[in-house]
Structure 1
Amino acid sequence: MKKFIQIIFLLTLSLSVFAQDALLDKANQHYIAGEYDQAIETYTEILNSNKESAEVYYNLGNSYYKSGQFTRAILNYERAKLLAPSDEDIQFNLDLANQHVVDAIDPLPQVFFIRWWNGVTNQLSVDQWAKVSVVSFILFLILAGLFFFTRSSLVKRLSFWAGILIIVISIFSFNFAARHKKRMTEHNFAIITQPSVTVKSSPSEGGTDLFLIHEGLKVEIKDSLGSWMQIRLSDGNQGWLLSNSIERI
């Protein structure tokens, strides 16, 4: 009975993967044929079945871009970038789509250390950093075993210093993976989806008008109150707008 259940489970899993691949092929064929609306519909169907991937978000972004829906393209390129932060094709197409954004915001300069830290973090995805952390920790355990059980003083010294280096790598890679995971789960960034939005000084229609922003702009969500969101731009300006004006990345 147990083997029968396992066979049924494996068969169901195989059919699910086959159906998913068939749906992706169908979406890609629509895209190649220039049937962008049908491609959008099919890629969205894949995402709605909880099959997220950088490839699907990237292809969906391309479909929106080809159909002239640049804001939706930016949103999906940003989602693809979360899953594959070092992918150059995603970044290139995101930069192209951002050229259609009305607002030109000059970001606040970052200190060298923070800029370097973020750059290193984005070199790998969350899964890749997690694998580096696990593998390096296993290597550390092996080196610790050598240090405690070998009789050679040279091996002891080498395993000690190599172990220190490896455990530092494990800690840093774990931290990078955690940062990526936090960014993916908290969804603290969003894209403006309304043609234009007036940002208020307080979470009410009676608040003072601070500045005007337009669709496609990326903002950081700092707080929320009812149907209002407090956002911050990359240049440091902050204010409140209605939550239906944005869509989280």
Structure 2
Amino acid sequence: MKVLANIFVFVFCLFGFTQNNQLFEEGNALYNQEKYSEAIEKYKAILNSGEHSADLYFNLGNAHYRLNNIAPSIYNYEKALQLAPHDEDIKNNLSFAQNMTIDAISDVPKVGFSRIFNNVVNMASRDSWAIIAIVGVVLFVLLFLLYHFSYSTSRKRFAFVTSILSLLIGCMALALAFQKEQLQKKDNPAIVFVQESRVMTDPNKSSEEVFRLHEGTKVQVLESYNDWKKIQISDNSSGWISAQDIKLLNIF
């Protein structure tokens, strides 16, 4: 029975993949015919089935961009970039879409050690740093054994020095892996999806307005309270916005 169940699951997944591939091709054909709204429906049907890919979000972003749907185009390009962070086509199209936004928010640049440290942390993913840490520790053990069992003075010296270096690299990589994980946990971006949204000092409509944001602007969600989200923009200004006015990027 277990074998039959596994076969059924495999056939079901294969059927779903084939169906989604057909929908994707149909969506692309509609896009090439400039039927962007119909193409969007095809792409959304694939998303509703639970399949996610950079190409799917990229094409969805392109279709929304053609219809001048600012927030959905930016949102889908950002989703595509999450799945393919080094894709230049996605980055370029995202820049074009961001040029349509109203809000001109200046980034607060990181300087000094903070900038250097963040650049080092972001050189690799959490898993990559973890793998480097494991390799460093394994090398340390092997080199330490070589040091312990070697009779040659020069070989013992070489094994000792390189084992210490391997251990230091492993420890540094482990620390960077933890730091990368912390940064990922804090990274909770969202896109403003309404034409204009009021950002308040407190999570209620009667509080004082701090500033206003417009569709397509990217924000960082810091915390939640009832139907409100505390957000921060790239110039470090913060406030509370209605949860209905934004759409989180980290939810698939």
- Give the TM bin, normalised by the shorter chain: 0.7 to 0.9
Q: CA deviation at 1:195?
A: 1.2
SS for the counterpart of 1:85 is: coil
Does the residue aligned with 2:92 lie in a helix, a strand or coil?
helix
Cα shift at 1:92: 1.4
Q: Tell me which residue corresponds to 2:240.
A: 240
How far 1:243 sits from its partner (Å)?
A: 1.7
Deviates more, 1:56-65 or 1:105-114: 105-114
- For residues 73-112 of structure 1, the aligned pairs below 5 Å read 73-112=73-112
1:64-104 CA distances to partner (integer Å, 9 max, x unpaired)?
Answer: 10121121111111222223333222221111111111111
Counterpart of 2:167 (choices 157, 164, 167) is 164
Give the secondary-structure state (helix, strand or coil) at the position aligned to 1:115. Answer: helix
C-alpha distance in 2 between matches for 1:12 and 1:205: 49
Does the CA contact (< 8 Å) of 2:203 and 2:241 recur in 1?
yes
How far does the alpha carbon of each residue in 1:156-185 deviate from its partner, in whole angstroms, 9 at most, with x for none?
2365145225524642563366257536xx
One-letter code of the match for 1:175?
A: F
Please tell me whether the aligned partners of residues 139 and 163 of structure 2 are also in contact (alpha carbons under 8 angstroms).
no
Q: 1:5 to 1:227 in 2, by over 3 A?
A: closer
Q: How far apart, in 1, do the equivalents of 2:55 and 2:118 lie?
A: 23
Show the counterpart of 2:131.
134
What does 1:189-228 correspond to in 2, within 5 Å? Answer: 189-228=189-228
Change (3 A) 1:123 1:27: farther
* Aligned-residue offset at 1:23: 2.9
Structure showing greater radius of gyration is 2
Distance 1:122 1:29 in 2: 38
CA gap of 1:103–1:158, structure 2 versus 1, over 3 A, is: same
CA shift in 2, pair 1:135/1:216, >3 Å: same
TM-score by length of 1: 0.80
Unaligned runs of 5+ in 2: none
Structure 1 segments unaligned to the other structure (5+ residues): none
SS across alignment from 1:103: coil
TM-score by length of 2: 0.79
3-state SS, counterpart of residue 102 of structure 1? coil
Letter of the 2:111 counterpart: V
- CA gap 1:63/1:119 in 2 versus in 1, 3 angstroms: farther
Residues 136 and 32 of structure 1, relative CA distance in 2, 3 Å threshold: farther
Instruction: Note closer, same or farther for the CA distance 1:153–1:86 as it changes in structure 2 (3 Å cut).
Output: same
Amino acid corresponding to residue 84 of structure 2 in structure 1: A
Aligned partners of 1:141, 1:75: CA distance in 2, in Å? 42
Task: Supply the AA of the counterpart residue of 1:239.
Answer: G
* CA 198–43 in structure 1, closer or farther in 2 if over 3 Å, else same: same
Provide the C-alpha distance between the structure 1 equivalents of 2:36 and 2:85, rounded to a whole number of angstroms: 25
Taking a change above 3 Å as real, the CA distance of residues 197 and 5 of structure 1, as seen in their structure-2 partners, is closer
Instruction: Identify which range, 81-90 or 190-199, moves more after superposition.
Output: 81-90
1:26 aligns with 2:29: no
Structure 1 equivalent of residue 142 of structure 2: 145
CA distance in 2, matches of 1:190, 1:180: 16
Provide the rounded CA distance (Å) in 2 between the counterparts of 1:122 and 1:28.
34
How is 1:57-68 mapped onto 2 (pairs within 5 angstroms)?
A: 57-68=57-68
CA contact (8 A) 1:220 1:233 kept: yes
Using the TM superposition, give the Cα deviation of residue 106 of structure 1 relative to its aligned residue in structure 2, in angstroms. 1.2
Root-mean-square deviation (CA, aligned residues, Å) is 3.0
